[in-house]
Amino acid sequence: MFVIAIAYPFDMRRHFFQARFAIQKSRPGLGHGLFATANLSKGDFVLEYTGKKIPTKLADEITSRYLFEIDRKWTVDGSVQSNLARYINHSCEPNCECVLEGGRILIYASRDIEKGEELSFDYGEEYFDEYIKPMGCKCHKCRLQGTGHGLQSRGTVYSDQLSPET
């Protein structure tokens, strides 16, 4: 288990947020995951998904599974090892959500997260259909239901779609 402590700028008011995570083995059939080493509250900033910003047209030619499309023009290749968010696995019932703000991909807790819990977000319909569905979804919800294909609503949350609570 790797324990990582990082200070990130929280917003333009220069608040700082200390985030601690552990990279460790995830569920059966998956590699590693990112786990909370402290309790997080709903709406807390978790992490920024970082990497090289590339034109979306070029992203279609790259085989990386760490591509996160910002818009039709730009995509972030999050395969760089410094991107801790690349360890966040998919779930059909995620505890985090991605918010696009000013060309950045910010990840927030969508519900309270307990210390030791694995972080997850919904990878979206396109990724799900291409990479997850053919192999069967391995998220907790799908494993409990025995379906392996627990499709729910898909897509990225934009900042203007957040409830006032977050």
CATH number (domain holding residue 24): 2.170.270.10
* CB 113 within 8 Å of CB 80: no
Pairing of strands 2-9, 16-25: antiparallel
pTM (whole model) above 0.75: no
Residue tagged 């309790």 (tokens): 39
Q: How many domains does the chain have?
A: 1
Output the six-digit token pair for 28.
Answer: 């059966």
Output the six-digit token pair for 3.
Answer: 């324990």
Domain membership of residue 72 (yes or no) is yes
pLDDT digits (tens, 9 = 90+) for 58-103: 988 888 888 999 988 999 999 998 899 999 988 888 999 999 999 8
Domain region containing 20:
2-157
Q: Name the amino acid, one letter, at 132.
A: I
**Is residue 138 over pLDDT 80?**
no
Domain membership of residue 124 (yes or no) is yes
Residues in a beta bridge with 90: 121
